[in-house]
Amino acid sequence: MAILSSTILSGLSILAVGLLMQSWLRHQPQPNTITSISPAQKTQLHEIAALMLEIYQTLAEMRYLNPESIHQGPHNLSSLHPLYTAQNIDPEIVYLYSILPYYIGSPPLDGETDFFHGGTFADFREEEDIEQSRDPFYAGPDGVDFDAGNGPYMQSWMTPLSRLGNHGSVILYDARVHQIWIIDQEGWVSTDPGLDEEEEDDDGGVKEEAGVQRMNRNSFEHIPSRPAGDVLRDINRWFRELEVLPGVGEYSGPEWDDEELDLRGLYREYGWLGEFDGEGFEVGKTRAYCSGQARYKAEEPLRAVEALRGWRMSFDRDIERCRGDIAKGGSVDEEWVARFELWKMERVYKCISVQSEEKEAIAAGLCPGGICIKEDELVVWEAEVLRQEARSKRDSISRYREWAEDSEQGGRGWEIATRAAEKEADIYRKAYEAASADAERMCPGKNFESVSGRQALDEEEMETSIRKLKDKILNLDREVQEATEWAGQLPDEAVQARAMVEQEIHGFRSRLEFERGVLTRMSGHVVQ
Ligand SMILES: *[C@@H]1O[C@H](CO)[C@@H](O)[C@H](O)[C@H]1NC(C)=O
């Protein structure tokens, strides 16, 4: 009996341990991610990956993304599983990460690239992106309680599909409900243009006022969302229909995000969406951008005058205030402090006045009557800007190639970058040739010098820079001397004022030392 019962007991305990094991296993991260996902869910995850890829391919077709830099799934993420486990990411999301496409801007531009509504591309093969996926809004949540005031808000079955840019929106996906939110970090509202306003009112503002209390201020599930497939198909359609333009944001540079640049018009001009002439578009966009740059550069003399005028006015006010301080009286020390401030300001003022006169004379010569550029000659300017840009793009190729061939630094990224640089240089060459041909046709007999009164828009020659730097050093030397002389008149009581002058002289001396160093390096460069 005793034997029997002990057998039964041990049988029971084995059973209990078995049950415990099962429940323990259920709560452990599953190392084998594939088996625990149902076929229905897999279908949904593949829909997400396929639609994301469609969007990326649209952006490549629009000549915004380099198709070579789109990394399609599946990816072997075995080596990252410890990271996913550490972040408590569910198997279905890990599976999604293994099939999503990733865009990595090629070096040296491998930082952020604008994607959608101010957000950037995410790459869940990167440690940083994996970690940020649990706090995509940089809210800095505490603890593990999703009901806490500043609790976590990304459940293990959720993931962002984009990264937060500089206060833009993030695309969030919930794999359990297969819904997508597009949420603006600052407004904490949906920026999904596909939600009609009624929906937004219903789920957003109104309900909240009706007394629904949310403990966790980071939670976003009350914000309206839509079926994931619909949202991603819409994003693709908005790009295709030019309702949303690629590259609008902080990271794509002025060649995509210049207010003056009519991207929509350019796409249509080159046949988007039907028979799109992608190369023609790129050449046209480059020309439009450089034409804007030409105008901006032509107007530089006016901006210089304007900036100095603004400076002078603010100094006028400061000098007035300083004179008032001296008149008010006070201790000997205070008076000398005010006198020193005045002395300093008057020197700067004099310097600005001299420069103002110089700049005004230059502007009068280059921009008579405030007009820097004659509209019918703009194309000549454009060609000059393109000449320089085309040369610098061409020169950059060899640098890329060196990097690509460098056995330590190089690699696939730099090879792609080299090819991208070659393509870009080719576009710039074509743009330059087209602009030159137009300039000859529209302004026969004219060249850049004859229309602009300048030889070239080239960057400053090294010799000019050196001459300017030498002048600067002479000036600084003089500042030191004059400040030392000025300090000579200070009475013994002017303790604070003396300290200030000494501080000032010290500042001049360290700048002198710095500029002399620059000069030595520059001169060395010239000699080589
Ligand atoms: C995935 O990568 C790991 C190493 O990280 C390797 O051991 C494994 O064989 C790879 N799997 C496949 C299917 O290539």
pLDDT digits 0-9 by tens, 484-519: 999 999 998 889 999 999 999 999 999 999 999 999
- Token pair, residue 455, equals 């030889």
Q: Is the pLDDT of residue 63 over 90?
A: yes
**Mean pLDDT of the region 203-211:** 47
What is the widest separation between alpha-carbon atoms in the chain? 118
DSSP assignment, residue 205?
I
Query: What's the pLDDT band for 106 if we cut at 50, 70, 90?
Result: low
Query: What's the pLDDT band for 526 if we cut at 50, 70, 90?
Result: low
CB atoms near residue 125 (< 10 Å): 19
**Mean pLDDT of the region 236-254:** 90
Query: What's the pLDDT band for 528 if we cut at 50, 70, 90?
Result: very low
* Amino acid (1-letter code) at residue 241: E
Distance 98 CA to ligand 1 centre (A): 13
Q: Ligand 1: which residue has its CA nearest to atom 3?
A: 78
The residue written with tokens 């094991």 in the block is 21
pLDDT digits 0-9 by tens, 10-61: 444 444 444 444 444 444 444 444 558 999 999 999 999 999 999 999 999 9
Query: What's the pLDDT band for 6 if we cut at 50, 70, 90?
Result: very low
Q: Where are the domains of the chain?
A: 2-256, 460-528
In CATH terms, the fold of domain 460-528 is: Methane Monooxygenase Hydroxylase; Chain G, domain 1 (1.20.58)
Rounded-to-integer distance, Cα 433 and Cα 387, Å? 9
Least confident window among 18-22, 86-90, 159-163: 18-22
pLDDT at 36: 80
Query: What is the separation, in whole angstroms, between the first and last Cα of the chain?
Result: 102
Rounded-to-integer distance, Cα 210 and Cα 394, Å? 63
For the chain, helix (H) and strand (E) counts, in that order, are 17, 8
Q: Is the pLDDT of residue 344 over 50?
A: yes
Write phi, then psi, for 120 (nearest 5 degrees): -125, 175
Ligand 1 close to Cβ of residue 80 (< 6 A): no
The residue written with tokens 């001397």 in the block is 481
Rounded-to-integer distance, Cα 314 and Cα 300, Å? 21
Residue closest to 257 by CA, chosen among 57, 112, 384? 112
Ligand 1 close to Cβ of residue 76 (< 6 A): yes
Rounded-to-integer distance, Cα 463 and Cα 461, Å? 5
Burial class from Cβ neighbours inside 10 Å (0-12, 13-18, 19+) for residue 527 reads exposed
Q: Is the pLDDT of residue 97 over 70?
A: yes
Q: Any idea how long the chain is?
A: 528
Ligand 1 close to Cβ of residue 455 (< 6 A): no
Query: What pTM was computed for the model?
Result: 0.78
Distance 20 CA to ligand 1 centre (A): 32
| CB burial readout 421-453, b (16+ within 10 A) else e | bbebbbbbbbbbebbbeebeeebeebebeebbe
Ligand 1 close to Cβ of residue 213 (< 6 A): no
Query: What's the pLDDT band for 523 if we cut at 50, 70, 90?
Result: confident
Q: CA–CA distance from 445 to each of 187, 373, 419, 440, 453 (Å)?
A: 57, 17, 37, 7, 15
Rounded-to-integer distance, Cα 442 and Cα 110, Å? 41
Q: Ligand 1: which residue has its CA nearest to atom 12?
A: 76
